Amino acid sequence: MERSSDPILLVRGCALRHPHGDGFAGSMPDLDLLPGECVLLCGPSGSGKTTFLLAAAGLLEPGRVAGRVERFPHVPEGRRDAPGRTGIVLQNPETQLLCATVREEAAFGPRNMGLDETAVAERVERALGVMGLAAVAERPVEALSMGQKHRLALAATLAMEPRLLLLDEPFTQLDPQGRAMLADVVRGVCERGGAVVVSEHVPEFMDGLDARRVDMTHLDAFSPPDAAMDVFAGLRPAYETPLDVRGLTCGYRGMPPILRGVDLGVPSGAKVLVRGANGGGKSTLLKAVVGALTPSDGEVRVCGARVTHPAALFGKVGFLGQNPEAQVFEDTVRDEIAFSLCRCGLSRGDAVRRACAILEAFGLAELADRPPLALSFGQKHLVALAAMLAPGPGLVLLDEPFTGLAASVRDAVLAILDGYARATGAGVLMVSHDPRCPGWADVDLVLRDGCLASDCAVDEVGGGR
| Least confident range of 67-71, 95-99, 240-244 | 67-71
Residue 426 CA to residue 238 CA, distance in Å, equals 9
Residue 4 lies in a domain: no
Residue 221: which pLDDT band, with cuts at 50, 70 and 90? Answer: very low
Residues 255, 207 share a domain = no
The single-letter DSSP state of residue 220 is S
Q: What is the pLDDT of residues 8-51, one digit of tens each?
A: 998 888 876 655 555 555 677 889 999 999 999 987 777 778 88
pLDDT given for residue 224 in this prediction: 44
Is residue 91 in a domain?
A: yes
In 33-98, which residue ranges form alpha helices assigned H by DSSP?
A: 49-56
Burial of 24 from C-beta contacts in 10 A (0-12 / 13-18 / 19+): middle
- Mean pLDDT within 417-444: 85
Res. 75: pLDDT tops 60: no
Instruction: Please answer whether residues 60 and 16 qualify as being in contact, where contact means their C-beta atoms are separated by less than 8 angstroms.
Output: yes
User: In this structure, are 238 and 199 located in the same domain?
Assistant: no
Closest CA to 31 of 216, 214, 220, 221: 214
Q: What's the pLDDT tens digit per position in 372-399?
A: 988 877 788 889 999 999 998 999 999 9
Q: Are residues 286 and 261 in the same domain?
A: yes
Residue-level pLDDT at 248: 93
pLDDT of residue 85: 83
Whether residue 2 is contained in a domain is answered as no
Is residue 98 located within the same domain as residue 129?
A: yes
Query: DSSP 3-state assignment of 118?
Result: helix
Say which residue, 387 or 460, is predicted with more confidence: 387
CB atoms within 10 A of CB 222: 20
Task: Say if CB 153 and CB 88 are below 8 A apart.
Answer: no
Question: Per-residue confidence at 150, pLDDT binned at 50, 70, 90?
Answer: very high
Judge if 149 and 239 occupy the same domain.
Answer: no
d(CA 188, CA 237): 53
- Any residues with CB less than 8 A from the CB of 324 and at least 6 apart, and which? 377, 380, 381, 383, 384
| Count of C-beta atoms within a 10 Å radius of residue 122 | 13
Q: What percent of the chain has pLDDT over 70?
A: 86
pLDDT range class, residue 230, cuts 50, 70, 90: low
Residues of the chain with pLDDT > 90: what percent? Answer: 42
Q: What is the pTM of this model?
A: 0.68
Residue 384: which domain range? 229-461
Q: Which residue has the higher pLDDT, 7 or 464?
A: 7
> Domain check: are 315 and 415 in the same one?
yes
Residue 368: the pLDDT is: 95
Asked which of 155-159, 197-201, 433-437 is least confident by mean pLDDT, the reply is 433-437
Would you say residue 224 lies in a domain? no
Of the candidates 145, 180, 215, which is a domain's last residue?
A: 215
Q: Which is nearest to 404 in space by CA: 27, 30, 47? A: 47
Packing angle of the helix pair 117-130, 146-158 (nearest 10 deg): 140
Q: What does the pLDDT read at residue 164?
A: 94
Same domain for 302 and 335? Answer: yes
Q: Do 251 and 284 meet the contact criterion of CB atoms below 8 Å apart?
A: yes
Question: Is residue 303 domain-shared with residue 255, that is, in the same domain?
Answer: yes
pLDDT digit string, tens, across residues 279-288: 888 989 999 9
Strands (E), 82-149: 86-89
- 222 domain residue, yes or no: no
- Residues ≥6 apart with Cβ < 8 Å to 249: 257, 259, 260, 261, 262, 295, 296, 297, 298
Same domain (yes/no): 180, 245: no
Give the whole-angstrom CA distance, residue 83 versus residue 202: 29
Mean pLDDT of the chain: 83
Of 163, 191, 215, which residue is a domain's last?
A: 215
Decide if pLDDT at 234 tops 80. no
Whether 83 shows a pLDDT value over 60: the answer reads no
Taking the CA atoms of residue 239, residue 245, residue 250 and residue 252 in that order, the dihedral angle to the nearest 10 degrees is 30
pLDDT of residue 322: 80
Decide: 104 and 117 in contact? Cβ < 8 Å.
no
- The CB density around residue 371, as the number of other CB atoms within 10 Å, is 17
The answer to whether residues 51 and 66 touch, using CB atoms and an 8 Å cutoff, is no
Confidence at residue 26, expressed as pLDDT on a 0 to 100 scale: 62
pLDDT (0 to 100) of residue 61: 77
Task: Identify whether 317 is part of a domain.
Answer: yes
Our count of domains for the chain comes to 2
Residue 323 lies in a domain: yes
Q: Let me know whether 344 and 409 are in one domain.
A: yes
The answer on 176 and 86 residing in a single domain is yes
Read off the CATH number of the domain in which 15 is found.
Answer: 3.40.50.300
> Is 240 found in the same domain as 125?
no
Mean pLDDT, range 342-356, rounded to an integer:
92
Residue 223 inside a domain? The answer is no
Higher pLDDT, 379 or 221: 379
pLDDT for 308-329, tens place per residue?
788 878 888 999 988 888 889 9
